Amino acid sequence: MKIALGTAQFGLNYGVTNNAGKVSRQEACKILNYASEQGICTLDTAPAYGDSETVLGDISALAKFDVITKIPSLKANQSSISQIVTNSIHILKRPFLDAVLFHDADDLLNSHASNNFAQAVSLKEQGKIAKIGVSVYSPEQLFRICELFPIEIVQVPFNCFDQRFSTANCLALYDELNIEVHARSIFLQGTLLADFETLPEHFRPFSAEFARFSSVCQQLNCAPIRLALAIIYKFDFINRAVIGVCDQSQLSDILNHHNEALELANSNAIDFEMLKCHNLALINPATWPIKA
């Protein structure tokens, strides 16, 4: 199962198409139990996701999952990484963390980078962290960081529109350094699954990209969610795809399309190349002039 469960919605009203708001604790418990039953074994969280870690720590089913969390941006406050990680371990009620990612890639590129990474290595040597990684927004960030530090796991944005991390150079890097790759933003914060007419005004200039995506769905007679999921199986370098949901029914819907998405990817019926877009105003939610 490539799908990992993202938990930003457990602590925040997250996502441009999220009309349901923050997930209730009762629903979060239902989601985790259902995810475990369906074979999902990895959870992604972060201190930056509101009280997501606290919510997870209070759910007994958490013990069934590998847990990945993150070191918040240290830019404004050079906090002790040891203190941050120890606090996450305590809140999540775990003996150790399966992976810890630097949430802000600049923390491995600025003048404090060597010290920051050394602190993470020390925590790994103490058995508090199994893998050290980073969350990046561009291939350029990834290449620069990998020249400096032995990264074991990386989280990257990847979807039908944003395929920047599937170039030959990127694939060679993953292979050479044995990097585990986790993809986020598979649905581009839900925009790939939404009716284009309901999207905010910011997306109007990209009607051609959405129309092309919709056209492929029609040609293949498949739901948008199935096409959006198929790309994670088309590219073998993706080890996990982090997907967030607002309730158990959303997760059920995703998993109901899982096998068909795998079959679709293996059928070679899709030319994903024709769907890619290089315009950051569409593919990078950080550029959207709306709450995302």
- Contacts by 18-25 with C-beta closer than 8 Å and gap 24+? 18/189, 18/190, 18/246, 20/246, 20/247, 21/246, 22/50, 23/55, 23/246, 23/247, 25/55, 25/58
pLDDT tens-digit readout, 59-87: 999 999 999 999 999 975 667 999 999 99
3-287 under CATH 3.20.20.100, yes or no: yes
pLDDT above 60 for 16:
no
DSSP letter (8 states) at residue 23: P
The reported pLDDT for the residue numbered 289 is: 83
Closest CA to 222 of 284, 157, 160: 160
Share of the chain above pLDDT 70, in %: 95
Q: Where are the domains of the chain?
A: 3-287
The reported pLDDT for the residue numbered 57 is: 98
Split at pLDDT 50, 70, 90, the class of 12 is confident
- Whether this prediction's pTM lies above 0.85 is answered by yes
Beta strands (DSSP E) in the chain are 3-6, 42-44, 66-71, 99-102, 132-135, 153-157, 180-184, 238-244
The reported pLDDT for the residue numbered 53 is: 97
